[in-house]
Amino acid sequence: MHDALLFLAAFLASTVEMVEALTIVLAVGVTRSWRSTGWGVGLALLALAAIVALLGPALTRLPIDALRIGVGTLLLVFGLQWLRKAILRATGLKAMHDEAQIYEEEIDEAAHAARVERAGLDWYAFTVAFKGVFLEGLEVAFIVVTFGGTQRNVPLAAAAAAAALVLVLAVGAVVHAPLSRVPENTLKFGVGLMLTSFGIFWAGEGAGAHWPGGDAALLGVLAFVAVLSFALVTALRPAAEVVSEGSDA
């Protein structure tokens, strides 16, 4: 069961981040140079693969309790950041992520940036594509290494992330436009729920707590975090509407 949730969390996180990276890559590719953009994407993916290949096996050598308390705490802090933003987006207190709008902004910026050639590449296209893919992918690498390391199954987490990457690339190549119809904000909510739940479960276990029902308690934690989050969204919506009415006036 944990492996299925591990796969799902890594797959969803990777899908969300790769959709965001694809928007940047398409914008610089279309506006500047596909060759330079391709180099940026390729090198960023290589760097991310190297991080996972180096850190993943290193983490699995740590004692399981130390790993769970360390990784669980990190995941919990990191996951709460995702969940907090997802709740604020769902209530209207934070702007929704809009790929179509971001694409237009990136196109505009790329069209006006100066053309500088370095190593035979359009340096703007190369660096923007590299940074876009590397920074979005770093969150995926973090999830793959921490989830995979704690579950002693880095290859499964990496396979989930790679599957999402292939899927987004394939759809992106066919559609040739930002994937604005992907329910990105909902996916982010789901990833936040899973990161937070795994974080609570592992950090608690690493700190010496014994979960009632053993491993099955993870589902209970997930249900608790989901109910809590939806309750917060419901409670905050009226407050957000007051803010919205106030700013409309």
Partner 1 sequence: MRWVVAFGRFWYDFIVGDDWIVAAAVVAGVVATWLVSRTGVPAWPLLPLVVAGVLGASVWRVARARRESP
Cβ closest to partner 1, residue 40 vs residue 70? 70
Contact 76, 196 (CB under 8 A): yes
B/e letters for 56-79, b = 16+ CB within 10 Å, e = fewer, are: beebbeeeeeebbbbbbebbbebb
Contacts with partner 1 by CB under 8 A lie at 69, 72-74, 76-78, 80-81, 83-84, 87-88, 91, 93-94, 138-139, 142, 196, 199-200, 203-204, 206-212, 217, 221, 224-225, 228-229, 232, 236, 239-240, 242-243, 246
Contact 198, 79 (CB under 8 A): yes
Cβ closest to partner 1, residue 145 vs residue 156? 145
- Report the Cα–Cα distance between both ends of the chain, in Å, rounded: 51
Cβ of residue 104: shortest distance to partner 1, in angstroms?
26
Cβ of residue 179: shortest distance to partner 1, in angstroms?
24
Cβ closest to partner 1, residue 108 vs residue 234? 234
DSSP tag of 63: -
Cβ of residue 129: shortest distance to partner 1, in angstroms?
19
Cβ of residue 225: shortest distance to partner 1, in angstroms?
7
Q: Strands (DSSP E) along the chain, which ranges?
A: 117-118, 121-122
**How many residues are present in the chain?**
249
Cβ of residue 165: shortest distance to partner 1, in angstroms?
20
Cβ closest to partner 1, residue 116 vs residue 227? 227
Contact 92, 244 (CB under 8 A): yes
Contact 25, 121 (CB under 8 A): no
Cβ closest to partner 1, residue 38 vs residue 220? 220
